[in-house]
Amino acid sequence: METGLAQLRFAASMLFGRPLSAWALDRLVDAALETRHEFGAIGPAAAEFLSGPPLDEDARREMQLRRFRAQAAMAAQETPYYAGLFEKTGLDPHRLRFEEIARIPVTPKAAMRNTPDAFVRRSARPAFRTMTTGTTGRPTSTYFSAHEMQTTALLSALTFLQEGQIGPDDIVQISTSSRATLGNACFSQACQRIGAAWYLAGLVQPSQALALLAEEHHLPGKKPRTSFLNTYPSYLGELVECGLAAGYRPADFGLTRISVGGEVVTAGLKARAQQLFGPVVFIEGFGMTEIWPLGATRCAAGHLHWEPTQGLIEVLNPEASGPAQPGQAGTLVATPFGPYREASVVLRYNTEDVVAPLAGPLTCRWRDWPATSDIRGKLRLSIRHDRGWTYPRDVLEALEAVEAVPLPARGGFWAVSGGVAVEAVVRAVTPAVHREIEAALEGQGVPLRELHLVEDRRQLQQPLPLRCDLREDSFATPAPSTAPDVGGAGRLPTERS
């Protein structure tokens, strides 16, 4: 009965944009936990309840326009940045038509980076300032209210439970930068609410992180080893490289799921990670501090799907005004909607990430949601050359598929006459490796004109930035008892059993 009331309250937020009720979400998390305990899993009908019934194109546009107007009106009335902007454009946010959304100037990253306070609503109660890790430039700040943080964590908990990704018996290792406060706070609170045990390992030496993953636990009601890892692709690459070199095997770990994001995730990385950790399930998607909690879920077909109630997604042609056509790469522009977003408002935010709209109709699981291709990389890390564009994904997919390239792939690329020059770190520079990498790059459609292979990363000229380099140092050295058996040393005999 209480669950029924909570469902009604949640539905009211979804339908009418009323603020999310922490009580209702909390009760729904309890209901999800009870359902999981009683029935072993939560059925697919719960997903529909959380995201609403599928909408046809017209109904979705109507719903998104209504929400965009509400968000735009709030922005114009309550934030200095958008008050000025709407005054300049002369647009009335209350009467916007769908076609007119494109007339609102895109909000550049620099605006939010330089004046984060200008995006905070006058009536808001900002309680938490989060900053991006600044991998791709100076950090950008965004403000959130305490209520927003609480409801976002509860919504995350509901999603994890509904998708069967995290349960009360899981032990979760967070191997992300300790400065990634927004993601870490919401994720850890969600784990805690579910009843999973979590710990923030941070971006420590890979050997330390591996020792933590291999550690045996004797916690009541929990799995015997860490079962869920949340990390960046580049750091996962470091773990894989270090783990395989140290002689770890899948039997040394209890991981069942790895949530990986924040950078380009390649097929090569996932395949090589499974050599170390066994047949783990990868959870991928897209999330970004500035547009949080609007994010995307990656389906099995490799599309990014954006829940339409959470925000509006546009893909803009970077070389011409207007939207990119299906199959044509463009930059992702996102508007997170209320009631998910309260304290700071952002309209048409230029994420600088490159994706491509998809040609429908789709047949995958979330086919009713707007979809794009997977992220191809940041626009400013992509290059325009005589033959078109080359994106970080094109290069990274090729490099990480080659065993001779240590993980994470370290390299760079730039335009040269007639195509692209690529540089990469390899284990050993040999003609065979050269040929293999050339073939892999060409297989990814990279018009390769020069290939520079080096054995030392310091020799790279224009390396792509990697989050794993946000290293957090520690005085500790890996515990010998949990290191794998390499050459007969480093493992206690009893651990074999």
Partner 1 sequence: MLAATIIILGCALAAVLLSWLYFRRYAIVRPPLGVFNFSDVAMMLGSIILIPYLDLALPLWVVAGLLVVGGLSTLYFTWEPILPPVWPRWLATLVLVGLDLVAWQWLGKSSPWWYAINNVFVVLCAVGITNLWAQAGMKARDAAILAGALAVYDLVFTSLLPLMGDLYTRLAMLPLAPMVAWPIGSEGQWYAIGLGDLLLAAAFPLVMRKAFGRSAGLAAMLIGLIAIGALLVSPLLGLYIEIFPAMVVLGPLMVLQYAYWRRRCGTERTTWQYLQAEPGRQSA
Paired strand residues for 54:
none
* Angle CA 364–370–375, to nearest 5: 85
Q: Report the C-alpha gap between 88 and 346 in whole angstroms.
A: 17
Is residue 5 a contact point for partner 1 (CB under 8 A)? no
Does 165 contact partner 1 by CB under 8 A? no
- Residues that bind partner 1 (rule: CB under 8 A) add up to a total of 21
Residue 343 φ then ψ, to 5°: -70, -55
Sign, CA dihedral 151-156-162-167, equals: negative
Under rule CB under 8 A, residue 128 binds partner 1: no
Least distance from partner 1 to the Cβ atom of residue 49, Å: 5
Angle, CA of 257, 258 and 264, to the nearest 5°:
145
Residue 151: CB minimum distance to partner 1, A: 17
Tokens of 453: 């292979």
Of the residues 12, 14, 35, 55, which one makes contact with partner 1 according to CB under 8 A: 35
Q: Which residues contact 6 (CB under 8 A, 6 or more apart)?
A: 21, 23, 24, 25, 27, 28, 31
Instruction: Based on the shown chain and the rule CB under 8 A, indicate whether residue 443 belongs to the binding site for partner 1.
Output: no
Which region, judged by CB under 8 A, interacts with partner 1, from 27-35, 149-157, 247-255, 420-428? 27-35
Whether the CB-CB separation of 397 and 268 falls below 8 Å is answered with yes
Q: What is the DSSP string of 443-459?
A: HTT--EEEEEEESSGGG
**Distance of closest approach, residue 25 Cβ to partner 1, in angstroms:** 12
The yes or no reply on residue 40 touching partner 1 (CB under 8 A) is yes
* Residue 8 is a binding residue for partner 1 (CB under 8 A): no
- Angle ∠(400,406,409) on CA atoms, nearest 5: 45
Distance CA 405, CA 423 (A): 11
User: Residues 20, 24, 25, 42: which binds partner 1 (CB under 8 A)?
Assistant: 42
CB nearer to partner 1: give 49 or 199. 49
Rg value, the chain, Cα: 23
* Residue 425 found at the interface with partner 1 (CB under 8 A): no
- Cβ proximity to partner 1, 190 vs 204, nearer residue: 190
Alpha carbon separation from 175 to 236, 375, 478 (Å, rounded): 9, 22, 15
Q: Measured from the CB atom, is 45 or 251 closer to partner 1? A: 45
Measured from the CB atom, is 43 or 224 closer to partner 1?
43
* CB closer to partner 1, 28 vs 288: 28
Nearer to partner 1, 42 or 264 (CB): 42
Per CB under 8 A, 66 contacts partner 1: no
Q: How far is the CB of 173 from partner 1 (least distance, A)?
A: 27
Q: What is the 3-state secondary structure (H, E, C) of 12-63?
A: HHHHHCCCCCHHHHHHHHHHHHHHHHHHCCCCCHHHHHHHCCCCCHHHHHHH
Q: Tell me if 45 contacts partner 1 by CB under 8 A.
A: yes
Report CA dihedral (470, 255, 49, 26) to the nearest 10 degrees. Answer: -70
Stretch of 30-38, 185-193, 310-318, 408-416 contacting partner 1, by CB under 8 A: 30-38
* Candidate ranges 1-9, 262-270, 449-457, 460-468; the one touching partner 1 (CB under 8 A): 1-9
Least distance between partner 1 and beta carbon 50 (Å): 9
Binding residues for partner 1, per CB under 8 A?
1-4, 7, 28, 31-32, 34-35, 37-43, 45-46, 48-49
